[in-house]
Amino acid sequence: MVQQTAIAPESAQAEFRAELIDAGVLVATSVDGLYQRSATFESVVRGLERRISAEGGGRYEPLLYFPPVLPREVFIRSDYLRSFPDLTGSVDTFVGDDRDHADLLRALDNGEDWTQHLVPAEVMLCSAACHPLYPSLTGTLPAGGRQMEVQGFCFRHEPSVDPARMQVFRQHEFVAVGDPEHCIAHRDEWLERALEILSGLGLPVSKVVANDPFFGRAGRMLAANQRETTLKYEIVCPITSVESPTAITSGNYHIDHFGNPFAIRTTDGQTAHSACIGFGMERITLALLKTHGLDPHAWPSAVRAQLEI
């Protein structure tokens, strides 16, 4: 611990990344933040999924797994582009004729920018696991709102040597949609439940108010105007730095950020609010590997039992 705090954060990040790759837990690619996962890594992710999902206790609609892309128009309505344009991932494809294809190949062979010959597809990469959910909720919710469980791959373009800052990762979420009290209670209850789950796995976690609300600049202004409403909390855990622990789970109250663009209403005709708790599956796995060691079969038996490893 003491030795770790003496290392500059980026060195500590690169060092842990090298340990993970040397041990074969992750396989590096030519791009920072993009990794192939070993069966060892995946066994922890799947154990975590079972452990977290069991905590839902049947109070949620059946778990949905989302693909890593979502319709472009849904992405636009999520407003992510307005807040985090630098993190987005657009999907391009080729729609030209044979002559256009020849032009593309000529550019490729000449080392020119062949991507100029592509056009945007009708899909984008997902930024958050709950975004694909909201269009299915358009209309009037049942009394008491809805509670859902989802998991999906997310993409954020932020290349880094920090193994905890992957460009592609999974979030496992519990989402509530309904009136404000329902949503805030959902988030706050899940933050406490998440602290119990994660500390029960031996992780030295704590809850903090997050500096960057879920929906960026507009959210920061809103938060400043409504000081009584904290929108985002994070559960943090040291991975490569004790002073700057990593957020491994977040609890977000979105107000009507999704209810409004997706026309979701409560039974009394109000725009629905929403909230989600998002477990960062890769980050929790890395926190476990850092805390208990790179071989899950050597972890404390109580931890292995909970994850069925």
Q: Which stretch binds Zn ion (CB under 5 A): 144-152, 205-213, 273-281, 289-297?
A: 273-281
Q: Kindly tell me which of 135 and 238 has the beta carbon lying closer to Zn ion.
A: 135
The 8 Å CB, 24+ separation contacts for 243-246 are 243/5, 244/9, 245/206, 246/164, 246/283, 246/286, 246/287
Interhelix angle 281-292/9-22, rounded to 10 degrees, is 90
Judged by beta carbon, residue 44 or residue 128, the one nearer Zn ion is 128
Tell me the closest approach of the beta carbon of residue 232 to Zn ion, in angstroms. Answer: 11
Distance CA 75, CA 262 (A): 11
Give the integer Cα–Cα distance in Å for 156 and 151: 16
Smallest gap from Cβ 50 to Zn ion, in A, equals: 21
User: Could you give the angle at the alpha carbon of 51 between the alpha carbons of 4 and 65, nearest 5°?
Assistant: 105
- Which residues are registered as beta bridge partners of 232? 252
- Residue range at the interface with Zn ion (CB under 5 A); choices 18-26, 75-83, 120-128, 141-149: 120-128
Q: Does 223 bind Zn ion (CB under 5 A)?
A: no
At its nearest, how many Å lie between Zn ion and the CB of residue 193? 16
Tokens at residue 181, please?
Answer: 């009290």
Binding mask 166-205 for Zn ion (x = CB under 5 A): -------x--------------------------------
Strand pairing class (61-66; 90-93):
unpaired
CA nearest neighbour of 297 among 28, 17, 25: 25
Q: Going residue by residue from 126 to 165, which x/- string records binding to Zn ion, judged by CB under 5 A?
A: --x-x-----------------------------------
Q: Considering only residues 126, 201, 276, 289, which one is a binding residue for Zn ion as defined by CB under 5 A?
A: 276
Binding residues for Zn ion, rule: CB under 5 A, are 128, 130, 173, 276, 278
